[in-house]
A and B are shown apart, each in its own frame.
Chain A
Amino acid sequence: MPDDDKAHFPHKYNENYLYLLEVDPTHIHAFWEITPDCIPDQILKRCLSNKKLWLKIYCNFRDSHRFCVDLNVHGLINDWFIEIESPLTGCHAELGYKDPGEEKFVSLCRSNNLDVILEKESSDCSIEKINQSDVNSHVYEEKKKDINPFIIDTEKEKKTHHMELITEKDIKDYYRLLSEKRIFHPGYSPWKLILKRINSAESLRVLKPSGFEKFYEQHYSSSETNSSYSSYWSVTFSYSQIPKIDKDK
């Protein structure tokens, strides 16, 4: 077998990405790659050298308090271990630069959502006992025909399942899953997406899947990701009938 198998190991992916991983309750790890062509030339040189990149970490705390930490990071070092405050329950981050003059943050990439382990023992001492066989429909069993990961119970005709998809990637992936698995067909749309922007006065929007793409393009521009928690969405996915779709087609 040729030794050049290792030669195909990529050192870069030429994409912008940012990953967060949890080390322990008080440390997270951030790793990213950014492509030079996503940064204007006049800023590029500064960004890749002298601490002109910014890592914004959006932290969620146990008491629902939210906080954003700005870290000035060196452009040539893309592997950071960051100490965080406990009791953090979750976070996500954005990497970007500040537009000179305006000092406006321009986001280059957004991370995955990260749930953080609680370090301390819970103060909740309530006791509820249950038998495993009595656990309700929230027990997930393998569904051979399950092509929609959000279906809980195929027996019921009408069910609403509430999901919190809080990043654009989540919603994009979710939409891609719906369209690629052909859960809705032209002229047949049993699905509705009800989106509510968290921490905002904006009311409920009810969208049929055909309208989703336009809505997504309209609302998920890069400027949208600059705002902190207004980009959190609560999505309620409701369906009236589960279409039978051949998974192999």
Chain B
Amino acid sequence: MNRSDVERLGIDPKQALRNADFYESYARLMERDVEQSETALMEMASALRDAGQWAMPVDRERGEALLTQAGSCWHQLGHGFGSLLLTAFAPALLSPIDLQDRLAQLLDYLRGAGPGSRGVELPHALTFPQQQVYLVIAAACVPGVELPEDLVQISRWPQHAQGVTPVGALGTPIRAYWRIADALFNGNAQVAARLVVEQLAKQAAAYGERIELGRTNKWLWSHGAAPVDLVDLDILSVGVSTARKLGPNLVHRQIVEHTAGLPDLAQLAMSLPAEAIKRVPGFDQADPNPFDGPPPFGLGF
């Protein structure tokens, strides 16, 4: 996704940058009170997230920097979502030991031992299934994190493997995320990459439908004020995190393969992780299957 795509979607790229600047300004406003107020930290994290997702298509470097800051805030709040953003964009900021400890606390909690069984209170956010699965996916992608043997079994508990709790901006049923986690525990990288990208492609199709809904109110849409994420951060961060774990070219090839037949808007959703993966260390630029997003498309905007 780039400036031209944003324009074709009916949003002036200058408005996208304006939105990024505005949300970043709000984050700075909230930053003044974060020492005294958890609410201020949540607002700062959310504003940085919004700033980052608006910046990504028009200024990728800035977008990733903002999402890294958002990730740090969310991670500080105990949100697995923050851990996942950092895994994707700034894994060096994550301590494998800290991540492992969080995972261990979470799994004790899931096994019924209670939120404070290790003498350390589980962050409130991690009592929520959405944050739990984000943390599991992040931990599965960070080198140096030892995954407990029963994690596969836990991922297949009915409330996980068949769960319908909505997750992320697309409201994807949680079972999809646990399937991604399960795939990442798989020893075969090729199989894992295929399973993860297949799932992300389904989410990308849902993204296309949401964008169409978001356009209903043209005034809000053109100002970037419709409650629709232009960049789906779950597709992006899971895609990039998976590439870091399994190998960037492997995942990139799977994206190329699974995106080819998708509608244009779905291809757009997948184009961002595809682009970001090219900057993951180890990506071979000579890969014979480049994917640069959908060809210029007309969407009747």
A and B part of one assembly: no
Interface residues of B (CB under 8 A from A): none
Interface residues of A (CB under 8 A from B): none
